[in-house]
Amino acid sequence: MRIKLSNSSEGAEFVKKVEAKEYQQMKTLLVTAYAKGDPERLTKIEAAKTLTDIQKVFVEMADAD
């Protein structure tokens, strides 16, 4: 569905907003539930700049716990 929406300018803007919100929610979850004040984990979270990056960090941390 995202691919179809991305083909129009309005759709692309919508997808961008949805992904930004999803990124921020996942980042907040990682910082509050998984980082546990660990500087190494916090650095990994901060280094993730895209939704795909933050999803990879989430999987890594969830698997480690």
Q: What is the pLDDT of residue 2?
A: 63
Residues 11-24 have a mean pLDDT of 91
Between 25 and 2, name the one with better pLDDT: 25
How confident is the model over 25-47, as pLDDT tens digits? Answer: 999 999 999 998 999 999 999 99
Q: What is the pLDDT of residue 65?
A: 79
Distance CA 16, CA 31 (A): 22
Q: Where are the beta strands (DSSP E) in 1-65?
A: none
- Its pTM stands at 0.83
